[in-house]
Structure 1
Amino acid sequence: MISKRTLLGSAVGFGLVAGLSTSAMADTITVATVNNGDMIRMQQLSPQWEKETGHTIEWVVLEENTLRQRVTQDIATKGGQFDVMTIGTYEVPIWAKQDWLVPLENMPDGYDADDILPSIAGGLSVDGTLYAAPFYGESSMVMYRTDLMEKAGMEMPDEPTWTDIAKAAEAMHDGENEIYGICLRGKPGWGENTAFLTTMANSFGARWFDMDWKPQFDSPEWKESFTTYLDLMNKYGPPGAASNGFNENLSLFQQGKCGMWIDATVAASFVTNPDDSQVADSVGFTLAPNKEGVEKRANWLWAWSLAIPAGTDAEQAAKDFVAWATSKDYTEIVAEKEGWANVPPGTRTSLYENQDYLDAAPFAKMTLQSIELADPTSPTVEEVPYTGVQFVAIPEFQGIGTAVGQALSAALAGQSSAEEALAQAQSITQREMSRAGYGK
């Protein structure tokens, strides 16, 4: 790969994170990231890092499914297109074991890796070594319109069941006025609808595989979970829901068109920001639901993180940027410019001990509680041979999860029945797992 280094005539300035390296060599680093609001803000603030260090950034900002495809292809083929990649809790341990990522050792002074929430750091580490720095962490929860609940004469329980959710969706639904009782992910993708539907299945006691790696889509639990999802969406969901992912549902909620939205906790700051949300002063939060009598809730565990691919020719500059963007100093920058409610959540213990943040973010405690409830080692009721809450931490899952998501999305679009979609999911998964040699 052609070197990105260019000579500077004079030494560059110090970075905002104490200990950032300075050199007479300036780098241009290419950063691939997802088009979520927090990452867009990171891009907007990055000139401050460039000014302090003398380095420059070329940004590649992509929709979630496209980002996953691009960075996976690039790192697997050693394409060398990127110096920093935005990846998640699924990819990090798998890629680290392949020696595809630079270990984040010897981070700049003051970075304080020990401050990262243990559950978040654990998912981004192999044998105690951190291989990606969390930009924000999340679980999932229920976001709902308090004004519509009050109008319906209802109160949202602190620990709702899916029956409670269905009753609330019915009460708030007003299709004639484009207010839909519930908005849920329908866009196909292993990190889109498959992520949500997996956590929903967990809360009904379903699982992806039994202990012999046999797929379980033909189980009663999966059938009950998926038919409940289809029933909610067909009765109370927005039109065209099979095309809606995180960003589409966020927009609908901000426009006041969703009575409820069950999705990532990171969305909370966007739905309560009066600059972006028409319903900012009428949003409540509660735990993700479960089926009556099932101890697991439909909450996931995820961190969008910054990682450095092995082989980059700008490793130190990339590490300096990763440290800056995921530091406590960066949190202070966002707080100063955008307010404490808008800082990247879910990564550091100190944030949830900061009274300024707790006072500004009514969703803070619910976010932390949801993150702490998720257990990747025990995602559902019965024992499983895998780790991961909304995904299965094996290399084959990315392809399988996307194919399954397409099958399940087709049922939401009315192209197949629930039974046909689940049978297709079972067939797809069994075929690919057999090819990969599982269960032998």
Structure 2
Amino acid sequence: MKTLTRALLGASALCTVSLAAQAQSDDPVTLTIATVNNGDMVRMQGLTGAFTEAHPNITLQWVTLEENELRRRVTTDIATGSGQFDVLTIGNYEVPIWGKQDWLAPLDELPEGYDTDDLLPSIRQALTVDDTLYALPFYGESAMVMYRTDLVEEAGVTIPDQPTWSDIMTAAEAMTNEAEQTYGICLRGKPGWGENMAFLTAMANSYGARWFDMDWRPQFDSPEWQSATNDYLTMLNEYGPPGAAANGFNENLSLFQQGRCGIWIDATVAASFVTDPDESTVAENVGFAQFPNKEGVDNHGNWLWSWNLAIPASSDSVDAAKEFVAWATSKEYTEIVAEEQGWRAAPPGTRTSLYENQEYIDAAPFAEMTLTSMEAADTQNSSVQEVPYTGGQFVAIPEFQGIGTAVGQAISAALAGQSTAEQALSQAQSITEREMQRAGYMD
């Protein structure tokens, strides 16, 4: 029955997503797709039969990479115009920068029925340059608290819907039981601008910190950055798992699913995986709360991210690639996921219609908190202080990829015990000042 339904849904997607497909060339095309090894992307690869059945002349070739390696490979490919890939999985950090450089094919003639007006406004805006879309969102996310309700009850602590960092640290301490290899909190420690610095930048935002003042002077010597970094290191060193400096999104997801973490603060997209009874040993005991803030600071991190499918301008198969990215990000694809794996597994955070779908709301206990978190994210004003940049858990300038990774390495070294917080922040200040001067932002 599922195979028949998939075929029918695939045919429906074909009809609504593209009339042009009826007249498509019979010439064989191979699309090489670079993607990240996150669960939703892996799931998509397993469901592309509906697309290839409807497009028998198109073969999909996947290159699935760890997040940092994906960024390195696709950045090299796009900057050199080598044309190694036909479809790229990139974030809302890269899209506006690369779109302005004409490195991406514009997606201004999407197949009939795609319904761009259904895309969440904040996500659509982040992927648009001069009123033209340069990528289509596969899933969107903010960040939130995921926690073990059973351990919270046993420890006699409370995690409110809008916790402070004091609430989180108190609960993490109470839930830590090293004898049973249960750790109070899991956070990203792996170095990278999209790994530990995505988390720590959002945390710093919530402490009132900012990356730069209005003259583009780095602010790592500020009390806010010092407080956020010290608390981050304290939580992981005292209540976190061993080897936290090597843990990114996927490593922490596995730890939480295995029942090793009392609290995990990370991307909202993880919610469908920690509540999946086929993958998570704690699926029935997961609660959700908004990203914490520091007492007296009205800021919940302003994390807003989307993984998107884009087409490099160097591709020789732009039309075929456009057919695929439109299919993979369509409402019809979401219905295929729901039919095959349930509404809880639907790609979140991209379409308004998903959060108006009662079947999804009933199946996904995290839906309300995900939408609340995404709607609360203000990427135009990431800090309570005035800033010269946009971006929530990143700074939307081309130089940030290199600077953020270098700073992330300094912070990760402190987490590994190779330096102190003060030394790491001093190094971060020096690195960032040097690179911003070199790039012409500072005198």
TM-score range, shorter chain: over 0.9
Mapped contact 1:141–1:299 kept (Cα < 8 A): no
Q: Give a deviation string over 1:17-71, Cα, whole Å, max 9, x none.
A: 4315222223110000000000001111112211211111110000000000000
Match of 1:267 in 2: 270
TM-score, with length taken from structure 1: 0.96
Is 1:348 aligned to 2:347, yes or no?
A: no
Equivalent of 1:198 in 184, 198, 201: 201
Q: Could you say which residue in structure 2 is the equivalent of 1:288?
A: 291
The one of 90, 94, 106 aligned to 1:91: 94
Q: Answer yes or no: is 1:18 the counterpart of 2:17.
A: yes
Determine whether 1:141 maps to 2:144: yes
Paired residues in the alignment total 429
Q: Does 1:366 align with 2:369?
A: yes
Q: Match for residue 7 of structure 1? A: none
Q: Distance in 1 between matches of 2:158 and 2:168?
A: 11
Partner of 2:381: 378
| Matching of residues 101-116 of structure 1 within 5 Å | 101-116=104-119
Matches within 5 A, 1:15-414: 15=14, 17-19=16-18, 20-21=20-21, 22-54=24-56, 55-414=58-417
Distance 1:80 1:179 in 2: 46
The superposition leaves residues 297-318 of structure 1 with CA deviations (integer Å, 9 ceiling, x where unpaired) of: 1240000000000021101110
Aligned AA (2:14): G
Cα distance between partner residues in 2 of 1:315 and 1:17: 20
Q: Hey, what's the Cα distance between the residues in 1 that align with 2:88 and 2:414?
A: 33
Overall identity of the aligned pairs, in %:
69
Does the aligned pair in 1 maintain the 2:147–2:287 contact within 8 Å? yes
3-state SS of paired residue (2:61): strand
Distance, in Å, in 2 between the alignment partners of 1:266 and 1:376 is: 18
Shift of 1:109: 1.0
CA shift digits 1:233-258 (9 cap, x unpaired)? 11100000000000000000000000
CA distance in 2 between partners of 1:100 and 1:294 (Å): 39
Structure 2 CA distance for aligned equivalents of residues 26 and 285 of structure 1? 47
TM-score (norm 2): 0.95
Specify every segment of 5 or more residues in structure 1 that has no aligned partner in the other structure, as ranges: 1-11
Residue in 1 that maps onto 2:3: none
CA displacement 1:182-240 (0-9 Å, x = unmatched): 00000000000010000000000000000000000000100000000011111100000
Shift of residue 156, structure 1, vs aligned partner: 1.4
Would you say 1:428 and 2:431 are equivalent positions? yes
SS in 1 for 2:30: strand
- Following superposition, the deviation at residue 171 of structure 1 comes to 1.0
Determine helix, strand or coil for the equivalent of 1:425.
helix
**Structure 1 SS opposite 2:17:** coil
Deviation at 1:128, TM superposition (A): 1.7
Paired with 1:128 and 1:99, the residues of 2 have a C-alpha distance of: 14
Q: Deviations over 1:110-166 (max 9, x none)?
A: 100110000011111112211100000000000000000011122211110000000
| More helix by percentage | 2
Q: Contact 2:13–2:327 at 8 Å: present in 1 too?
A: no
CA drift of 1:286 comes to 0.4
